[in-house]
Structure 1
């Protein structure tokens, strides 16, 4: 499975927004805090906005906020918002695959991998990834449900 830069940047942007949910953040502030290329982040945030994961306001008091509470946004939501299907093989989803002969059972493995990945990503919310004390805590392992 490949985790795209878009999905990584999108998750990191949402974590920045979730850290301070009462004030809007600009793309510049998010890009600087997370060391993400600004131009790339602008397009990623646009996709998050279209998916309803962030909302925006123009003007000098403007910026971006979470589109819904951090405890309702999962990494699965983020991945699907910016990348579409979780797993594809030659442009097809595993559900549409069928192979003949000796490879008959292989599409079932691809479907199982997709289901397991979806279960893991769907069990981790943006809120569960926030450090409890506000300090960077990136080395602490997460449990399967995303709770630390």
Structure 2
């Protein structure tokens, strides 16, 4: 699985909003500066997050962006889907819409298993989890294997 720059930036921007729930709306410029993201690129991402119902925007001198709900109710998967679409696809096709035959017939089951695992992790981690630094135990357990930190 590859995490796009757009998805990475969207998660980082959402984390900025999650980290400042009582600060009122944050200006896009402030989010961009804090997260190290191009302001112009961030505007498109924030619009995607707004259209997905994850952030609210407010115009005016005191305007800006804020999360549409509690950070604990917004998963990392929600943010990624808002900017990139499905979490796992094969050649742009969702796994259930694929079919294989011959020696590759069981490949569909592999792609479905991959999607299930990606969903389990990304849907199981909220913005609040990341901001607090307390990721779920099952996620942290996956990081304990030395091979998790190396590239083959």
Q: TM-score, structure 1 length as denominator?
A: 0.88
Runs of 4 or more, structure 1, over 6 Å off, are none
Is contact 2:9-2:37 (8 Å) kept?
yes
Q: Does residue 19 in structure 1 map to residue 13 in structure 2?
A: no
Structure 1: runs of 5+ lacking an equivalent: 133-139
CA separation of 1:142/1:47 partners in 2, compared to 1, >3 Å: closer, same or farther? same
The equivalent residue for 1:64 is: 65
CA distance in 2, matches of 1:141, 1:80: 20
- Richer in helix (by share): 2
Q: Does residue 115 in structure 1 map to residue 109 in structure 2?
A: no
Shift of 1:141: 7.4
Measured against aligned partners, the alpha-carbon deviations of 1:53-105 in whole angstroms (never above 9, x if no partner) come to 10010000100010111000001111111111111111211111111111100
Q: TM-score, structure 2 length as denominator?
A: 0.86
Is contact 1:76-1:121 (8 Å) kept?
yes
The equivalent residue for 1:130 is: 131
Alignment of 1:3-82 (within 5 A): 3-22=3-22, 23-82=24-83
RMSD of Structure 2 on Structure 1 (CA): 1.6
CA distance in 1, matches of 2:132, 2:52: 25
Shift of 1:144: 2.7
CA distance in 2, matches of 1:89, 1:142: 28
CA distance in 1, matches of 2:58, 2:21: 14
